[in-house]
Structures are given as C-alpha cells and as structure tokens.
Structure 1
Amino acid sequence: MKYVIGCTADERGREAISLALTLARSLADPSTVSLELVHIIRGEAPENTATQSEKTFQQFQYDTAMGWMQRCLDLVPSALDAQIHIRFADSMAGGMLEAVAAFNADLVVIGAASHGPLRRFTVGSVANALLHSSPVPVALAPSGYRPPRLLTRITCALGTRSGSEAVLQSAVEAAAARHVPLRLVSLVALDLSQAQGISNLGQRTQAHSSRVLDEAVSAVAHRTVVTAEVAQGRSIEAAINTLDWDEEELVLIGSSRLAERSKIFMGATANKMLRALPVPMVVVPRYHIAAGSEPAARL
C-alpha cells in the first residue's frame, strides 16, 4: 500500500505528513505502507532546460528543496518505509497526478491552503484540482491540524444516490484495518420555515440510515462496531455542527454523481462540509476500484 504525500516547505506540508503518519500508524500492520514524500517544482528538470541561466535556477530550486525534504523525511519514524522524491512538471497538480500514477498509489495526502483559519479547510488551487480529478482517494488535513498518534473513529457521510457503495465499502475496510468504530452519518439540510414535508423527509432519511447500517454491519463481518446517526439542520454546515466530533477521527465522503467513473469530483455537499468540518476528510472516487482490482479503497 502506498501513500503519495504532497510536501511543501510550510505548515501545510507538515500537516500532510502528520495525517499520513496517523493513517499509517493506526493500521494493524503499519509496515504494509510505503510513504512517498513528493515535492513538485514547476518547469523542466535542469538537464532539459533551454538556457544556462534556467538550468542554474532549476538546479538551485532542486538543491534547496532536497535540503528541506531531508528534514521532512526526519519526521517519519524509522519503523515506517519512506522515500523522498523531487519531480518537475508543468503544474503542481499535474505533477502530483503523475506521481500518483508513477507510484501506483492507493492514496494521496495533502494539506489545506496555508491561509485557512485554524482547524478549518481552505482549499487551494492544487487541492482543488486533485479533488476534481484524482483517480485515487484524496486525504485533506485541515489547517492547524495537530495529529493524534492513532485514529479512534472513522465517520462516513452517506447519501442516497448511486455510487455510495464505494465510499461505504472504503469506510468499512479502513475502520476494520485499524480496529476502530465506524460511524455512518446522513446529513439533512431542512428549511425549517417550511414545516410541511419535514417530518416525512426525516422519516425517509432515518429509513435510509437504517438500511445502510444493516449493509455495513453485514459487510464488516464482526471486525468493528458500526453505528448510524442522522444530523439535521438549516444547512449542511449546521447539521455537521449538531454532531459530536472526536479530534482523533476522520471523515470519508464520496464524489459527486457528476464524477467520471473511478475519479473524484467534489460536489456541493462536500464543499459545504469542508467549511464546517474540524477533522481530516478523505474523498473517495465514484465507483472506486483500488490498486490490485480490489473492490474498495485501501486507506
């Protein structure tokens, strides 16, 4: 299993590494994970540049990056397998996607934009591109993330549209691999000024939650504890705020129905969740098939 981690010379890069370490150390067997620490330099590699001045500048960027990438490697415990990579590409996002393909990655881990408020997400241009095109799950650490050593719970936000089976199965596998409880959540944004129909909607959502709970319990095969909740509010953000959040958990969500098969596309609900979540989020591609043709994401 391989994690590609987007490294930058700021807190965002440190937060991405921290989240990757938490995900890896929480596994029953962390030695099964390889961490590929990747930094992208825009432009051509020094040997491919057109002029001597460009070659000198690109080599300077490479040497500088290699220095602090070595310090990034020092953040990884010796018990975990980790390598550093400096790659050149036309764009940061394009370079990350090329790295995902080159390393046959199971997961890409990135940090929120550095100007985001404490413990909240601000999605920068690179994260935005990955969240709309990655062929593998994307894990996003919120700004100011201070990681626990181990995860204590995984929450999975489920909708009613087709494709939710991929994120559900991914969540089941991720929770079982770490021996932590799995919480299923249905988020309902209700216009409380329009009382008519709210009761029926709530009943339908409760019924849906019960159904997916039954499916998850069956799928998990007694490997972990599964619970389900329905969160209601005036908005998705308000519904999220009604839930209790453990600082040592993360959230899995699926992609929009507009996503191409086995690719991510952030939908409106996911974008609203990003503004409210106090914990890391993992976005799973629609109808995802993980490396090795397994029917669930390996996280």
Structure 2
Amino acid sequence: MSTPTFRNLIIAYTATEPGRDALNLGIAMARTSGAHLNLVTVIPEDNVYAAVYPSDRGHMPIIQQQVREWLEQAQASLPADISSSIHTISDSSDAAGLLTATQQLNGSAIVLGGRRGGLLRRFRLGGTATTLLHSSPVPVALAPGGYQNQEKLSWLTAMFGTRPGAEAVIQYALAAAQSFNLPLRLVSLLFLDQAQADSLPDGIETADLIAQVEQFGNEQLAAQAADMVANDQAATVVATGKDVHDAVEALTWMEHELVIFGSSRLASNQHTFLGATAARILRHIPSPMMVIPAETT
C-alpha cells in the first residue's frame, strides 16, 4: 500500500453551511498534512435536457460569475498558511462533477459537508454524499453539521469489525498515523447482551483487540499495532453494547479527531462503499469521518 496522503484535496464548496463545514475540515486536514486545497463548485450543465426554456440560456454566464465570486470570497477567507486554488466545472450532477474534478486535478481525497440534521443525528447524507460514499475511487471525508475546527487534527480513530475490509482500514490507519505523526485509536465494536458484557475479562481493550488485528488483518499489522501501543502512539478500545447505538455512545470522542471506516464487501475494487453498520455508526458520532476505497493499495 502506498503511503496515505491528503496532498491534493477536492473541497466540495458551495456558499452554504455544508460548504463552510467542508472548507473547515479541509483546512484541518491541510494543516495536518500540508495539502493543497482545490475549492470546486459544480455548475449545472447547460444542455438541451436542462430544466430551462431552450431559448433562455443567457442565465449561465450570470451563474458562472456569481459562483466565481463565491469561490474567490471563500479563498480569500482561508488562513495564510493554506495553499489553494479555485475551480468550476459543469456537469449534470454534483457527484459526477466532483468525480471529474478529482480525476482532472489528481485529487487524493474528496471533502464534503453533511446536511444539517437534528441534535441527535449528527450526520444526514444528501444525494451527493450518498453517491460519492458508494462510488468514489479516492477516500471521501465528511464533516458533521456545524463543524468549525480549523486546527490540525489531533487523533485518528479507525473503526473495524470482523467482515472483509478490516485489513484495509487497519493498514491505512496505521500508515496514516505514522505518516502524519498522529496518535491512533483502534476501535472494535462488539454487540453483546449484558450478561456477555459482564463476563468479558479485564484487559480486553488491548490484548483481544491486537488478536483481532492479527485475525482480520495479518501478523505484520498486529505487530505494528502492538509496537505503537507499547510506545504510546496508539490506543485500543473494544466498545461493547447491545447494538450500534449503545456501543458507540460508550465511546469517548477525542477533540479534533478523524474517524476512518473501510468500505463494505459490496464495494467494487478501488472504490468506496459505505456499509450498513458504518452508516448507522455515523448517525451517532460527533467527529468528521472518512471512508476509504476497498482494497486500497
């Protein structure tokens, strides 16, 4: 696997609250890795199928000018230490346009803002996020509603289970933590009833989770994880509960962390696919999250 990098981020920018959330997360990721930010806005494609009377297409230059002004204002608001450029692209959908921009600009990850939701629903996935989380060839990061942090990320948290894909997220997270010099938390969720939870032995947070890394990853990853734990560069947590809500609510969330998920076994090779369990988890977490493509190498 090549070293994880945020070198060239595609920021899905609109002059809206989700757009500003995405921009803030992009700044935090750039300060973590030295990345360049590409602020991209997708403009509806002007074609015969557009929902506008065919003879009245003079509105497009006006839209393009307004979008350009919004992008320039966003770029002007960036901290002085952030490298950036602005781009517009025309396409039939925001998701398709962002994928095209990612290809043209050699993007290493796409950063989105989530739809604003209720107090207990930190993430709401709009159509663009849903499409990209199930089809992107690069990692997709999503900021929760109201995300304001612009400081360097302070933690990476990798969440994995017992299904195929665990090895990829463990490997990616270990490499990312070392590449960006960040502490790492490896989290495994166990869904147990109260009797089963009470019978868990002491020390499961480290010993059993390292064993899971070996079982669902490989011996090399387990040794790497154990070494990082021994050197206080990583922590291990087994979160237990009768369901996703209980297990996730038992976790303590770190300030300025990024939560990493692997893709579902349903993903096509080298593309993202947000699994059902991960989709349930993100309803309950307050931190930004990122889904990496299947079999990231």
TM-score scaled to structure 2, two decimals? 0.85
1:166 corresponds to which letter in structure 2? A
- Summarize deviations over 1:11-50 as a string: whole Å, max 9, x none: 11111011011011023xx2xx2211100011228xxx99
Aligned to 2:234, which of 223, 226, 242?
226
In the aligned structure 2, how far is the partner of 1:21 from the partner of 1:217?
Answer: 33
Does structure 1 retain, via aligned residues, the 8 Å contact 2:206–2:236? no
Does structure 2 retain, via aligned residues, the 8 Å contact 1:36–1:82? yes
Partner of 1:2: 8
TM-aligned CA distance change 1:119 to 1:142, over 3 Å? farther
Aligned to 2:29, which of 23, 28, 46?
23
CA RMSD of aligned residues (A): 3.0
How far did residue 257 of structure 1 move? Answer: 0.8
1:5 corresponds to which letter in structure 2? I
2:288 corresponds to which letter in structure 1? P
**Match status 1:257 vs 2:265:** yes
Residues 194-209 of structure 1 aligned to structure 2 (within 5 Å): 195=195, 209=209
Corresponding residue SS for 1:59: helix
In the aligned structure 1, how far is the partner of 2:9 from the partner of 2:206?
Answer: 36
Partner of 1:53: 56
TM-aligned CA distance change 1:107 to 1:64, over 3 Å? same
Compare 61-70 and 207-216 and name the one that shifted more. 207-216
2:79 corresponds to which letter in structure 1? P
TM-aligned CA distance change 1:205 to 1:175, over 3 Å? closer
Residues 1-299 of structure 1 aligned to structure 2 (within 5 Å): 1-27=7-33, 30=34, 33-44=35-46, 53-54=56-57, 56-115=58-117, 117=119, 120-192=122-194, 195=195, 209-211=209-211, 212=213, 215=221, 218=224, 225-289=233-297
How far did residue 227 of structure 1 move? Answer: 1.5
Corresponding residue SS for 1:58: helix
In the aligned structure 2, how far is the partner of 1:196 from the partner of 1:152?
Answer: 34
How far did residue 190 of structure 1 move? Answer: 2.5
2:22 corresponds to which letter in structure 1? A
Does structure 2 retain, via aligned residues, the 8 Å contact 1:252–1:282? yes
Q: Name structure 1 gaps, 5 residues minimum.
A: 290-299
In the aligned structure 2, how far is the partner of 1:20 from the partner of 1:119?
Answer: 22
Corresponding residue SS for 1:256: coil
- Summarize deviations over 1:117-151 as a string: whole Å, max 9, x none: 48811111100000010111000000011215121
In the aligned structure 1, how far is the partner of 2:22 from the partner of 2:288?
Answer: 10
1:252 corresponds to which letter in structure 2? I
How far did residue 92 of structure 1 move? Answer: 0.8
Does structure 1 retain, via aligned residues, the 8 Å contact 2:116–2:123? no
In the aligned structure 2, how far is the partner of 1:263 from the partner of 1:198?
Answer: 39
Q: Name structure 2 gaps, 5 residues minimum.
A: 1-6
Corresponding residue SS for 2:274: coil
Matched-pair identity in %? 38
How far did residue 200 of structure 1 move? Answer: 8.1
Does structure 1 retain, via aligned residues, the 8 Å contact 2:8–2:107? yes
Compare 207-216 and 116-125 and name the one that shifted more. 207-216
Partner of 1:292: none
- Summarize deviations over 1:148-185 as a string: whole Å, max 9, x none: 51211111001222322221122122222332210100
Does structure 2 retain, via aligned residues, the 8 Å contact 1:156–1:167? yes
Does structure 2 retain, via aligned residues, the 8 Å contact 1:182–1:224? no
In the aligned structure 2, how far is the partner of 1:72 from the partner of 1:119?
Answer: 27
TM-aligned CA distance change 1:208 to 1:161, over 3 Å? farther
In the aligned structure 1, how far is the partner of 2:252 from the partner of 2:196?
Answer: 28
* Number of residue-to-residue matches in the alignment: 281
How far did residue 249 of structure 1 move? Answer: 0.9
